[in-house]
Structure formats: structure tokens, C-alpha cells
Amino acid sequence: MNRAPSVILGMCSYTHDSSAALLVDGELIGFVEEERLSQRKHTKDYPRHAVKWLLSEAGLTAADVDAVAYNFRPAHYLAESPAALRLALSPTTRDLALPRARGFAKVALRTQLRTRALGRRFPSSRVSPVLHHRAHQLAAFAASGWNESAVLIVDSLGERQTTTIARGQDALHPSTRTLEAINDPASLGYVYGAVTEHLGWRRGDEEGTVMALAALGDPERFRHLFARAVRTTPTGFSLDPACFPPRVLTSGYPRTSRRFIAATCPERHPSEPIQDVHRDLAAALQERTEQVMLHLARRARTITGSRRLCVGGGVATNCVSMGRIIEAGIFDEVFVPPTPGDAGTAIGAAIAVHTGSRSRSRRPVSGVARACYLGPSYQHQALDLTPWPGLQHKTLGVESAEFLADQLAHGMIVGLFQGRVEAGPRALGNRSILASPLEPGVVERLNATVKFREPFRPFAPMVLAERAAEFFTLGQEAPYMSMASGVTDEARERVPAIVHANGTSRLQTVTRSQNAFMHDVLSAFARRTGVPVLINTSLNVKGKPICGTPAMALDCLANSGLDALLLEGQWITK
């Protein structure tokens, strides 16, 4: 009889958004993205800081690891090499057939070498490659805590797959069964990344900027182009290679065609001003993405019969699309995990190895459902301001929530660093920048002097869950800031600063059980102002990762327009 490994290290490494997760007897000890500790945003490096912290947290060494769960399966890349040769049959794609076949074969070999390298780091363990979309599925479904749901994964590429619809079952021993899959080159994530790059922003990093810009444009100008370029089919969608050439896993091959450029605009350099054509192109891209995501959600409802939906993959970070799915009423409830992107597959891969054992003695998975504060904490670390001589501090007492709310109500912009690091791309009250939405010019000030980013970028609100319906129309909880909601007339009247140009807000609902301190801050702010809403953005500046360590947070305070930082009960000012 096989024995379920008692110590499983889940790994996302060597591609982008490196991370690690640790399961011990089925319990999630922790999870953290490497960038939070290394200060290198979207790093693809082996997550040595993350692994070191996890093993230390559990009191283990590398020799204690029974299995390393890796978030890709090398052999599945190989299947695309012979399939790529079919591109030779079309004059549009003929020149890409051989480079594509070679590229997938090369990545298969490279991935195999990476799994061997991981094995050498953990000599007592076996390395278990996990199909990428299965890791996504399990990360999303297990985080929901549900016993059953449809699971929709939409990303750029996982081996060959770009979109899968599965059914998830069993909250204690999560499992998923893929019912339908769409393979590359049909990839919604690929299209969004390609247009993001075309518009002058970093693919794989700044798609959210394009989503924000879309609210300022008119999709009509390029609506028909995207309807042709991204066609829906009865079971999904397909791409027109005349607009978006099939991907080649080698640098130097364009992601948009000359025909696409002629029909839209030349590539924009990041230093060039944003024009109406750029706004309109972003708007048409976003509109088509929402339409296709709605189509896929309806397909998931049809083939699973489920009344609940989990969504994961990089495209799940498109919060406006998530809001559209909820508004459509296709499902009773929609769930997006705190880590829908590749970093979260470290958790899913570990779960796959744990639940994949045939041992009847394997323990239930715990610590994953509805958990988002999973990284390191520095509550007991002594404060040393020696590297920042211009900073001053004082220790707050038990009334720190009241004190913070009062400072915010008087117009201060404050960084907050408390407890364990959040999982995923959103700051959820432990590594946040907070501001009053009632302060005149607060959005302009945040963008210009604190975040150093584009002036059209909106800021997300956090709200007491019990009062969310007064300001937002979403109709369900949104604990991880992953869904855009419509707003009520009261929101438009009292807190217009949190309403984007498209009439939505990417909200975070806060319950006492999720984050007691932030619930206290919001309650105290509401007593002072009558509004249970704060602006919440991540504790970082543009181009930097969310601050995972005290040193990173202090650097952020010293080098930005923040007024103060509340760091584990210490009030720090310049």
C-alpha cells in the first residue's frame, strides 16, 4: 500500500511568479511568493527564500521533504510538437510550423531538467510533476471550501492547455475531473498579453493597466475586429491566426500580425502619450474578453450542472470579467481564490500529490479553505531604524485601530504592515496603503506621489461586509478583491473616489473572522465619518512587489509620499 507523503513541498519555479507551499500531513503550513522576500517582482528564480521560511516554520530540513510537487509536466509539452506541423497546411501559418514544433520540444526538455534540478535539492524526496491546469483547478477549488462546484481555468498556457472546465468534489479530499479542454493556440490570456505589449505595457505584469484604460475608450471602433479575431464556438473559442499568429516558445516571434497592426495602430512605446486609439483598442479587447468569459461560464454551467463556480488562471485576475459573470446570474455564487495566477499552483500541485496517493490513511486537506494570510509574520522582530535615520517612531497601545482610523479620517495616507503576508496579487489589509475616500484629490495624490503610476488607474475600496450592500451591488462577498461590482447611488454621492470610469469598483468585503484588525479600523472610521469604506491599495510603488518584509515597508515609506507607516504596532513617520 502506498503511503501519502507526510511532507510535500509545492513549487512554482523557473517560469514567473515563483512561490512555494508546504503541506505536512495534509495541513497547509504556509505559502508565499518569492518576490515578497527577494524584492524581485515576478521573479522566476528558484524560491529559496520561500522554501527556507517554510521549512523553518515547520521545524524541518530539506532532508525531511518526502515529495516535491512541481506545477508542470514536461512530457505534455512534447505532444504539441507533432501537432504544430499541421500549421504547415496553411499559408498564413506555414512559416511558424517548424519553429513552434522545436519550441515546444525544447521547453519539454528544459522542464525535465528543471525537475531533476529540484530533485538534487531534496535528495530524500521524489519529484512529482503535476499537470498545470490540474494544479490551478485544485488551488481554486480547495480554497473555496465547497463540496462541489464547476471549475473554470483560463490562462495563457499550461503545457498545451489554455482553458479547462472541470468539476470539483469533496472539501476534505479535493479532486477535480476535467470535462473539456481547449489547447493552444486558442488562448485568451495570450491575446490579452499580446495587446498589452502592443499598447506599451509589460506583458505578464501590466494587464491590469490595460483593463483600467479600457474604461476610458469606446469599443465600437475595433469591436468587429475582435469578434473576428477571437471567435466563439459551441464549446469555447478560437483565434484567427491572421491577427494573432500561433505562439512560438522562442523569443523574437511577434504576437500580433502586420494585419492586426494595420487595422489598429503602430506599437506604442512606453514613453509615448496615450491616445484615443489606444483607449479604444483596450476597450474592445476588454469587451471581447468579458464576452468570451461569459460564454465559457455558461458552458461550464451547462456541462457540469453545478450552481457554484470557481475561477482560476491568469485571466481570473480580470476583475471586471468576474463581475460580469456574477451579474449575469449564471451561478448562485462565484469564487476566485486569493492566488488565481501561477503562484497559486504551488498549493494546487501539493494538494494533487497529497490526494493522489492511494493510501486510505491520507489525512484531509486543511488550512487552505478561505485562507489568504499564509506568509511570514514579523510581529516579534525588534524594530531597527538605523538604515533610515530620517524616520521616527512611537509605540501604540491597544487602541491602535482607533488611532489609525482617526489619522485616516484627518486625511493621512498610511501604510499598514501587520501579521502574515497575504497570498496573491492583492493587498488584503496586512500589507496595504490606506486612505480616506472622502479626502479631496486623494486618487490624484496616491497615483502621483505614492504609487508613481498612471493617473487613470483606479483605487479599490474595502468595506465592512455587513454594510457592503449600501454601496455595492455585487450581491455576494468578495474577500480577495478579485471582483468588480456596480455601485449604488449612495456610493456615487458619498465616495465617488472609489468609482472607476466604467461605474464599477474592485471591492474587498471585510468580516471580523477574516481580519479582525481591519474590521475594527473600518468600524472606527465609520463612527467618525459615517462611511464604512476605505481606499486600500498594495504597500508598494509601481514596478516593485508588495512589501513582504519590514525593511521593504520602511523603504517604501522613506521613498514615497506616504505620510506614515503602522508596522506591528509601531507608528513611524518621516
Q: Which residue has the higher pLDDT, 140 or 542?
A: 140
- Could you give the 3-state DSSP secondary structure of residue 555? helix
pLDDT of residue 398: 83
Please say if the pLDDT value at position 373 is more than 90: yes
pLDDT class for 62, splitting at 50, 70, 90? Answer: very high
Please report, rounded to a whole number, the percentage of residues in the chain having pLDDT higher than 70.
98
- Give one word for 433, left, alpha or beta, with left for phi > 0 and alpha for psi -120 to 50: beta
The answer to whether the beta carbons of residues 396 and 569 sit under 8 Å apart is yes
pLDDT class for 572, splitting at 50, 70, 90? Answer: very high
The set of residues, in sequence order, having a beta carbon less than 8 Å from that of 508 and lying 6+ positions away, is 426, 428, 429, 460, 461, 462, 463, 478, 479, 480, 481, 536
Q: Which amino acid, residue 464?
A: L
Going by C-alpha positions, the residue among 467, 468, 452, 439 that lies closest to residue 535 is 439
Whether pTM exceeds 0.85: yes
Distance CA 45, CA 456 (A): 32
CA 302 to chain centre: 27
168: number of CA atoms within 13 Å, CB side?
35
DSSP symbol at 392: E
pLDDT class for 361, splitting at 50, 70, 90? Answer: low
CA 148 to chain centre: 23
H helix intervals, 179-263: 188-198, 207-214, 223-229, 258-263
pLDDT of residue 313: 98
Please say if the pLDDT value at position 511 is more than 50: yes
DSSP symbol at 571: E
All three cell numbers of 121, joined, read: 535539492
Please say if the pLDDT value at position 3 is more than 60: no
pLDDT of residue 362: 76
Q: What is the spatial order of strands in the sheet that 19-24 belongs to? A: 27-33, 19-24, 7-12, 67-70, 126-129
H helix intervals, 418-469: 442-445
Question: What would the pLDDT profile of 146-200 be if each residue is shown by its tens digit?
Answer: 999 999 999 999 999 999 999 999 999 999 999 999 999 999 999 999 999 999 9
Q: How does strand 308-312 pair with strand 533-538?
A: unpaired
The set of residues, in sequence order, having a beta carbon less than 8 Å from that of 550 and lying 6+ positions away, is 378, 381, 383, 417, 567, 568
Count Cβ atoms below 10 Å from residue 110 Cβ, excluding itself. Answer: 13
Please say if the pLDDT value at position 431 is more than 50: yes
All three cell numbers of 24, joined, read: 505536512
pLDDT of residue 5: 62
What is the three-state SS of 52-112? HHHHHHHCCCHHHCCEEEECCCHHHHHCHHHHHHHHHHCCCCHHHHHHHHHHHHHHHHHHH
Distance CA 246, CA 521 (A): 50
Q: CA-CA-CA-CA torsion for 389, 394, 396, 400, nearest 10 degrees? A: -60
Cα angle 176, 7, 133; round to 5? 25
pLDDT class for 470, splitting at 50, 70, 90? Answer: very high
What mean pLDDT is predicted for residues 210-234?
98
Please say if the pLDDT value at position 330 is more than 70: yes
Least confident segment among 2-16, 138-152, 378-392, 530-544: 2-16
CA 550 to chain centre: 23
Q: What is the DSSP string of 289-316?
A: HHHHHHHHHHHHHHHH--SEEEEESGGG
Paired residues of 24 in beta bridges: 7, 27
Burial tier of 89 (Cβ tally within 10 Å: 0-12, 13-18, 19+): exposed
- Could you give the 3-state DSSP secondary structure of residue 185? coil
Q: Strand (E) positions, 372-421?
A: 392-395, 414-417
Distance CA 56, CA 45 (A): 20
Please say if the pLDDT value at position 541 is more than 50: yes
Distance CA 150, CA 183 (A): 19
Please say if the pLDDT value at position 1 is more than 80: no
The set of residues, in sequence order, having a beta carbon less than 8 Å from that of 299 and lying 6+ positions away, is 165, 180, 235, 236
Distance CA 234, CA 424 (A): 33
